[in-house]
Amino acid sequence: MKKVEKRTIPVLEMGCAACANYVEVREEIDRKSYKRLLRNTIGAWILAIPLAVFGMIFMYLPYANQIMMILALAIMLLFGRSFYINGIRHALRGNANMDTLVALSTSIAFFFSLFNTFYPQFWTSRGLEPHVYYEASGIIIAFVLLGKLLEERARHSTSSAIKGLMRLQPKTAQKVIDGREEEVFISTLKTGDLISVRPGEKIPVDGTLLKGASSIDESMLSGEAIPVEKTTGDKVFAGTINQKGSFTMQATGVGHSTVLAQIIRMVQDAQGSKAPVQRIADKISRLFVPAVVVIAVVTFLVWLIAGGTSFFSYGLLAAVSVLVIACPCALGLATPTALMVGIGKAAEQHILIKDAYALENLCKIDTIVLDKTGTLTEGVPLVIDSYWLSESKICYLDILYTAELKSEHPQASAIINWMEDSGASVFEPKRFESITGQGVCMEVGDKTYWVGNKKMSDSFCTVIPDKVAKYIAYWEEAGYSIVYYGEESVLLAVLAIADRIRKTSLIAVDNLKKQGIEVHLLTGDTPRSAEIVASVLGIENYKAGVSPNDKDEYIKELQHSGKKVAMVGDGINDSQALARADVSIAMGKGIDIAMDVAMVTLITPDLSLFSKAIRISKQTVRLIRQNLFWAFIFNLIGIPLAAGVLYPINGLLLNPMIAGAAMAFSSVAVVTNSLRLKLLK
C-alpha cells in the first residue's frame, strides 16, 4: 500500500483566478490517474479469475502451463508493471516497501514456474515434481491493486474542495470609470478601484461600501443564514452575495489578500499539514522485505553447506517456498478488506466515510468541536412565537402575507412558511416600497402598513405597550430576531424569528459525553445565542462571534494541548476548520464545499450518527489489528517451515505448491475475518 498524499497549491503566488485554472489541471491529472488504476484493477481481475481456475482445477489439462504463463505475464506487464518500476526505484535507493515485496515475490514465482514449464526434467530427474505458481503471481497483483484502488479514492477530496471555493468568487466585476460602468476581469482590479454591485451578484473583492445600502448574505464567513444589513462605511467581502439594492464599493483587498483567498490558502495549508495515511503494512515492510530476502538466501546457502551440491535442488525449492509463502497477499489484504467492510457498514447507517485515515482515527477522538447553525440547529429561520395586539387578527393577515411575498428579505420566507395554513390571500396594493435596512411598507386603501425591524417601527413613531415590551425583552434575551408589523403609528403584531435546535442534538451531545468525548461549540452568531444553545444542550465550552480563522486557531490550540479533535460543520465558513481537524465531519444537507473537505459525511442531519461512526471505527480497527496479527503469525510460522527447519527432525520439506496453498489460505482467513464485521452490532 502507499500513502495518500495531500497536495498543496500555491494560492499566494497565483491568486484566486489563476489558481482555479491550476486546480482544474491538477484535478484532471488525478482523475486520469484514478481511471488508469481502476482500469488496471478490473483488467487484472478479469485475467486473474481464469488464471486461478486453471491453477487450482485444470492444472493437468494439455498446455495448461502455457495458458497460465500467458495470463500471468499479461497481468504483470499490462496491469502490474508499476510494482516492478517502483520496486526497482526503491531498490536503487536502498529502500523497500510493499511494491518491492510484490515485485520480488511475483517475479520469483513467475520465473521459477517458467523454468519448470520448459525444463521439467531438471526436477523429474531428481525424483521431484515440477510445479508451477503462475496463479500466485497474477492473484497477488490483482489483490494489491484492489487495495491501492480503495486508497486512491481518498485523493479526490482536496482539489474538488478548493475548486468549489474558487467558484465563490466571480470572474468579472463592474468597475466604475469616470462615472460609467465597465465589465473587467477581477484579476485586473487594484486596491482603491470603485466597483458597482447589483442585486443578486457576488461581491468580487473585499472593500468598503461608499454609496447605497443593501443586505449581504455572509453565511460563507459567519455560517449564519440571516443576511447582514450594510450601509455606507461598512466592510463587504469577496464571495458574499448581495441580496437586494445596488451599491458602489471601494476595493480594499484584491487577489490573494481577500478574506476568501486567505480561507482557501488556510484550507490548503491545513490539508497539506495533515499526516498522510500510512499503512502499517508499509511501515513493517521496510524491514520485512529485506528480512525475507536474507532468509531465502540463507536458506539456500545452509542447504548447500549441509548437503553439498546434491542438495542444490532442495535448497532452491526451500528458498522459493520462503519467498512464495512470505508474499504480501494476506498482509496486503489485512487492512483494505476490513476497511471496505467497515466503510460499507457505515454507509448502511447513513454515514459516508471518505478514506481510511478517517475510519482509523475516529476511534481516537477525545474532543469534538461543533458548529451551531445547520449542525446543532436546523439552519433555517422559523417563526418561533408571535403576539397580536389587534383582536381582529384575521383581517390583517392578507396584508402581512402580501407584504412578505413582495419582500426579498430572508426572514420573509420564514413568515410566509408560518402563514401557509392561515388562509391568507394575496392582493395588489396601491404602492409598495422596500426600505433598505428597515423593512417594507405598502399603501392599502388610504392607509400605510409596514413590516420591519425596530428602525422601521421608530420611523412611524410607534408606541409599544408595556405588555408587548415584556414579550420583546424575553425574546431578545432568548436570542430571537424581532419583526414588527403595524398600521401607520399603531403596532398590530410582533413576531419572534429564530433558528430552532434540532430534536436529535440533545441526545447526540449526551451520547458523546457518555463516550468520554469533550464537546465544544463555535459559532459566528451572537454571544447570547451561543449561550442559550450551549445551556440547552449542556455544552460547557463555547465561543461566539468567531470567524473561519478563529475556528482554525481554536482547533490548533486544542491539538497543541494534546487533544485528538473532530470538527463537525456544514458551511463554507467551516471548511478551514474542517481541514485542520484530525477528523472532519460534514452534515449531509450542508454546503458541497464542506462535504468535499470533510472526511466523513452524515447523510441525514442527525449528529447522533457520529457516535455510531466511532463505534464502527473501533470495530474496524480491532479487525485490522487481528488481521495483521494473523498475517504476521502466519509468516512467523510458515517461513521457518518453508526453509526446512523440520527436515532434519521428520523429513518435512514444504513444497512451493503447498506454500502457495498456505498463502492462499491465509488470504481467505483474513477476508473471512473482515466479513465478520457485517455481523457485529
Instruction: Pick left, alpha or beta for residue 128 (phi over 0 → left; psi -120 to 50 → alpha; otherwise beta).
Output: beta
Among 193, 217, 371, 525, the one annotated catalytic: 371
Q: In Å, how far from its chain's centre is CA 582? A: 11
Cα distances (angstroms) measured from residue 162 to each of 47, 54, 155, 550, 552: 39, 49, 13, 20, 17
Cα distances (angstroms) measured from residue 548 to each of 193, 499, 523, 540: 27, 20, 10, 21
Q: Is 272 helix (H, G, I), strand (E, B) or coil?
A: helix
Cβ partners under 8 Å of residue 658, min gap 6: 321
3-state SS of 27-89? Answer: HHHHHHHHHHHHHHHHHHHHHHHHHHHHHHCCCCCCCHHHHHHHHHHHHHHHHCHHHHHHHHH
Of 481, 479, 484, 480, the closest CA to residue 468 belongs to 484
Q: 645: which DSSP letter?
A: T
- Cα angle for residues 205, 211, 217 (degrees, 5° grid): 50
CA distance 386 to 451: 14
Q: Does residue 282 carry a catalytic annotation?
A: no
What is the grid cell recorded at 197? 454591485
Q: Specify which residues 443 forms β-bridges with.
A: 431, 448
Cβ partners under 8 Å of residue 184, min gap 6: 172, 173, 175
CA distance 184 to 187: 8
Instruction: Give the HSE-up count for residue 9: Cα atoms under 13 Å, Cβ half-sphere.
Output: 29
Match 461566539 to its residue by C-alpha cell: 544
Q: What is the β-pairing status of strands 490-501 and 377-388?
A: antiparallel
CA distance 255 to 452: 37
CA distance 416 to 11: 43
Q: 599: which DSSP letter?
A: S
CA distance 483 to 466: 17
Match 411575498 to its residue by C-alpha cell: 405
Cα distances (angstroms) measured from residue 633 to each of 346, 453, 626: 29, 72, 10
Catalytic residue ranges? 371
